[in-house]
Structure 1
Amino acid sequence: MTPTHRMAALLLASGLPGLAHADFIDDSKASVELRNFYFNRDFRQEGARDKAEEWAQGFLLRLESGYTEGTVGFGVDALGMLGFKLDSGDGTAGSGLLPADGSGGSQDEYSKLGLTGKVKVSNSTLKVGALHFRSPIVSANDSRLLPQTFQGALLNVQEIDNLIVQGGQINRIKANSSTDYTKMSANRIGGTSDDFVFGGADYKITPALTAGLHYGKLEDIYQQYYGTLSHLLQLGEGQSFKTDLRYASSREDGNFRDIDNRAFGAMFTYSLGGHAVGAGYQRMSGDDPFPYIASSDPFLVNFVQINDFANIDERSWQVRYDYNFAAMGIPGLTFMTRYISGDNVQVGASNGGKEWERNTDIGYVFQEGALKNLGVKWRNATVRSNFGNDLDENRLILSYSLALW
């Protein structure tokens, strides 16, 4: 670490008097990420608005300290975020890239800061403050200019071989394009709550087979049990077959309203060299859609670019194809396309609802030269439905990451 970097780490440690020991400083790291994001969503159904179209620039500075020496180690992380509007014409706001300005448009700029204290004992860590993590029961979204964060506490325990235990409590959520923490609500269910508790474990039964069981409760709204099972079968050099099974059972918590949902998902993927071909099935049962914290990411096999295919009684199928051009000697270039079709959706008194979505992603990350670590990704989606929106969407994302130390 250079003297300049050591000074920056010392500044990060200044909020913890007496704790800036060698490991705290020498194990610290920092990085900056730049995101240039163009978003265009055309609404195709009769009577809808024309489009949502915006272009914005984002900056993310991540600072992570090491831990102080001793049996109990202390540390601190910081995430600073800035977003700037580059273009947003009259009537085209609402892409999720920028905060609303109160008059139908978007703000010219916004910023937010996330601070996290952390404690480590043996192979276990406790983080308190701003959180951005993923799990089967709750996951933060990062599909716009700046990532979403939670406020709360996260415990990760890895004291037994092949077993990971995770749990915690969340009391607020800060959306991608928001500068304020707000209470949480349930997607399609409603209500508000300032307490989500969760816990679970994933156990690697064999090197190829992993099972998980997780529980979450959004106080006074819903509670949910989630079981997972994944297996990777090696079929020889460059070949494999992956099985991903998921089942969730959700019911009400408190007296907000009755909730009844059971969600099953299965995804099977065959890989050969740079190719991967997948097929998935998802089924919703019960009187309600699949509940999850609004604006976060649900752990569903058919949660894709726009839709989650988790409406009441919905059945959905997916076919997917991926190709990694590294197999052709072009590392950094990737391609993905998929098609999802859903039917049997309860709409009014019948189950005649149907929808489909098609996604295509093409991405390239420069591997060397002056543009090394510059990523370019084009994401395209088409959605058609007889009960919801008809959409054509394009996202163009340029990203650049640089480790400062």
Structure 2
Amino acid sequence: MHRHTVFTTLILVGGILGLSFPAMAEFIDDGKASVELRNFYFNRDYRQTNAPQSKQEEWAQGFLLRYESGFTEGLIGVGFDAIGLVGVKLDSSPDRAGSGLLKRHRDTSKGAQDEYGELGLTAKVRASKSTLKLGTLLPKLPTILANDSRLLPQTFMGGQLTSLELEGLTVDAGRLTQVNQRDSSDYEDMGITRTGAKGITTRHLDSDSFDFVSLNYKWTSNLATGYSYGHLDNFYSQHLVNLTYVLPVTTGQSLKMDLRFARSTDDSGSNVDNNAIGAMFTYNLGGHALGLGYQGMSGDTGYAYVNGTDAFLVNFVQIGDFASKDEKSWQARYDYNFAAIGVPGLTFMTRYLSGYNVDLRGAPGEGKEWERDTDIGYVVQSGPLKNVGLKWRNASARSNFGNDIDENRLIFSYTFVL
């Protein structure tokens, strides 16, 4: 879909609603719209010998228009949401394409397309403190985390019910039927992630059904627990529990604990069999935060999750997920918020992860890998450039069973309310 088609459609929809429903005060007045401009440069060098591609390097401009209406008045309110996404190529070539920023031609030898886009519409119904959404969704749940790490976000088609009827308890349930990947404008059936050395085999290529239920209960302002279930038809079922607790130590100091466990089993169409445990402990002292994490895989395969999504793992980071068969990994992380010394908006993060004990399925020795990440970001706090953000993300990863990568991402963003 061309960018002018996306924006023209959204403007017409908004205009028609404004003219047709003048009496629906909450529907109109509670609506909100924003535009995000996202300029993204991506460079990934493959450092191993005989790499299939020496480099991925692309530069693109993204436009993300979001609209959320209010609800009509009455016991049952109705409304709609819309999202318009457009990606424009600024620099690429066939030998450097494939970064995930841009949609590629069906004939991959032609590289990336000049532009691509998507218009997503979502109908919604609200009764009491429960909301049902049907259409384009961007789920953010432990078993299904839509990816937004490139120019445009990954989106899904389906239905989701969110209920807040009981104080402190959030319940989400629904079904997804198709996915539109972050570098695509076409919806397709869902698959399973096969990166790393997970040892997962399947009898099916894809699935048109992902069912999910998620319950999260906030016991106090410092303690929350959750249970989530996900089922990718023909591939796997997954049960996940998690706990987060913030222990106040003294003024300006606290210890945060993040504990996770997931059990994944096959759905008669795969060999998925995995137990995943994860723990992250973060000590906050003023503007400083020091974190130590551990993640362990056991079972006949590595961790299972929907292709293209993020994984709810403490060691899922910029390049790797450290979730191969039998893999154990640890992480050391340091964050600093410069607001502590009078520079609000400036943040820094660095971390190092090491993975070992990977089952290489008959190959001699054990699989090992490591990754080092650094993020520096700044968001303008005031003045005519308020909310302008700039982030540099640098990473290096090495492995004796996968790719050796050096990577840089430079992201310039600006969001303004319409």
User: Do Structure 1 and Structure 2 share a fold, with TM-score over 0.5?
Assistant: yes
Letter in 2 for 1:271: N
Residue 4 of structure 1 corresponds to none
Q: Which runs of 5+ in 1 are unaligned?
A: 1-6
Q: Among 78, 82, 85, which residue is 1:81 paired with?
A: 85
The reply on whether 1:314 has 2:318 as its aligned counterpart is: no
- Structure-2 residue corresponding to 1:52: 56
Per the alignment, residue 137 of structure 2 pairs with 131
| Residue of 232, 235, 240 corresponding to 2:249 | 235
State how far apart, in whole Å, the 1-side matches of 2:165 and 2:351 are: 39
Counterpart in 1 of 2:6?
none
What CA distance in whole angstroms lies between the structure 1 residues aligned with 2:302 and 2:354?
17
Residue 103 of structure 1 and its aligned partner are, at CA, apart by 3.5
CA offsets 1:237-259 (integer angstroms, 9 cap, x no match): 11110000000001011x31222
Partner residue of 2:301? 288
Give the RMSD, CA atoms, in angstroms.
1.6
The amino acid across from 1:244 in the alignment is D
Q: Please give the secondary structure, in 2, of the residue aligned with 1:23.
A: helix
Q: Which residue of 1 aligns with 2:74?
A: 70
Alignment of 1:334-349 (within 5 A): 334-349=347-362
- 1:21 is aligned, of 11, 21, 24, to 24
Distance in 1, Cα, partners of 2:339 & 2:42? 28
Instruction: Report the alpha carbon displacement of residue 207 of structure 1 after superposing the two structures with TM.
Output: 2.6
Q: Following the alignment from structure 2 to structure 1, what is the Cα–Cα distance between the partners of residues 254 and 13? A: 44
Q: Give runs of aligned pairs for residues 93-104 of structure 1, distance below 5 A.
A: 93-101=97-105, 102-104=107-109
**Aligned match of 2:339:** 326
1:282-335 Cα offsets, whole Å, 9 max, x none, are 000001110000001110000000100000000000000000000010000000
Q: Contact 1:10–1:25 (CA<8 Å) still a contact in 2?
A: no
The one-letter code matched in structure 1 to 2:275 is R
| 1:49-85 superposed Cα distances (whole Å, 9 cap, x missing partner) | 2100000000011111000000111000100011110
Distance 2:385 2:54 in 1: 37
1:133 positional shift: 2.4
1:364 aligns with 2:378: yes
Partner of 1:201: 215
In structure 2, list runs of 5 or more residues that go unmatched: 1-10, 195-199
* SS in structure 1 of the partner of residue 148 of structure 2: coil
Counterpart residue identity of residue 221, structure 2? P
SS in 2 for 1:370: coil
Provide the residue aligned with 1:380 in structure 2.
394
Q: Distance in 2 between matches of 1:174 and 1:95?
A: 16
Task: Name 2:146's counterpart in structure 1.
Answer: 140
1:91 maps to 2:95:
yes
Work out whether 1:183 is the aligned partner of 2:189: yes
C-alpha contact (below 8 Å) 2:93/2:112 kept by paired residues: no
What residue identity is the alignment partner of 1:156?
T
CA distance in 2 between partners of 1:374 and 1:32 (Å): 12
Contact 2:18 2:28 in 1 (8 A): no
2:45 is aligned with 1:32: no
Alignment partner, residue 170 of structure 1: 176
Kindly tell me: are residues 64 and 8 of structure 1, through their superposed partners in 2, closer, same or farther at Cα, counting changes over 3 Å? farther
What is the rounded CA distance, in whole Å, between the counterparts of 2:22 and 2:359 in structure 1? Answer: 58
> 1:235: how far off?
1.1
Contact 1:20–1:68, Cα closer than 8 Å, also in 2:
no
1:3: which partner in 2? none
Deviates more, 1:95-104 or 1:139-148: 95-104
Report the Cα distance in structure 2 between the residues aligned to 1:103 and 1:223, rounded to whole angstroms.
Answer: 34
Partner of 2:318: 305
State yes or no: 1:159 paired with 2:162: no
SS at 1:77's partner residue? strand
Displacement, 1:19? 8.9
Query: For 1:327, what is the secondary structure of its paired residue?
Result: helix
Q: For structure 1, which segment, 241-250 or 101-110, has the greater mean C-alpha deviation from structure 2 after superposition?
A: 101-110
Question: Aligned match of 2:118 in 112, 115, 126?
Answer: 112
Distance between the aligned counterparts of 1:256 and 1:61, measured in 2?
Answer: 39
Q: Is the 8 A contact 1:9 1:28 kept in 2?
A: no
Q: Is the 8 A contact 2:94 2:108 kept in 1?
A: no
Q: 1:19 to 1:216 in 2, by over 3 A?
A: farther
Q: Percent identity?
A: 57
Size of the alignment, in residue pairs? 396
